[in-house]
A = this chain, B = another copy of it.
Amino acid sequence: MSNRNQPSQDPADGRYHHGNLREALLDAVGETIAEKGVAGVSLREAARRAGVSHGAPAHHFGDKLGLLTAYSTRGFQLFGERMRAAAESAAEPGQRLNAIGVEYLRFALEEPAYFEVMFRSDMHASDDDTFQATSKGAFGILADVAAEASQDDCDDNDPLVLALKSWALVHGLASLWADGAISHFWPGDDLAELAGLIFEDEFGGGSD
């Protein structure tokens, strides 16, 4: 835990121990992705931004894949919290699925750095236990809400199938939008508008 009461930014004093290097390195990854894209991420760059020597990251993350895995895990942590909050904030259970779908897209737009790494199999060691547990926990919220919604709304289809369908729809929309592929055909620059039209057809509920 190491909950010290010093700021999580890099101290850059003469201190030998950084105090919060692990988090500072993960912050540095986010900064680097925002500035230079995921191709610009490197152990040495993260160390540089955190004000430590080039070998320091290896102690906390082992290798580059470990650093990215930890960054993905932190992304899924935040992602899960936002999904849970969206589900709970929905006025009535029937609107939970729609609320989650909107929040999913919002996350993809507001946290592109996380989103870009989280769903890329070569950006994380999929056998990492913490990563698996965290990502599965976040996905579980989606599955629960979607399964619940499918029991209310629809006929006797498998709730799991409908959950995966909703998930695929939202994820595909977010991915294609992020990649810029949709921009060839959809004139607007507002993903929420397009999502509203698509979800209206799918879930029958409007977006905010």
Which A residues form the contact surface with B (CB < 8 A)? 37-39, 116, 119-122, 126, 132, 135-136, 139, 143, 157-158, 160-165, 167-173, 175-176, 178-182, 184-186, 194, 197-198, 201-202
Which of chain B's residues have a CB closer than 8 A to the CB of A173?
Answer: 164, 168, 172
Complex-state Cα separation, A203 to B165, whole angstroms: 12
Question: What are 18 residue pairs bridging A and B, where the CB atoms are less than 8 Å apart in the complex?
Answer: A39-B122, A116-B122, A119-B176, A119-B179, A120-B120, A132-B184, A135-B184, A160-B185, A160-B186, A161-B194, A161-B197, A164-B194, A164-B198, A167-B172, A168-B173, A168-B176, A169-B169, A171-B172
The reply to whether B120 and A179 contact each other, CB–CB distance below 8 Å, is: yes
Q: How many copies does the complex hold?
A: 2
Which of chain B's residues have a CB closer than 8 A to the CB of A184?
Answer: 132, 135-136, 139
Q: How far is the CB of A178 from chain B (nearest CB, A)?
A: 7
- Nearest 8 pairs of A and B residues by beta carbon: A172-B172, A168-B172, A168-B173, A171-B172, A161-B197, A165-B198, A169-B169, A121-B179
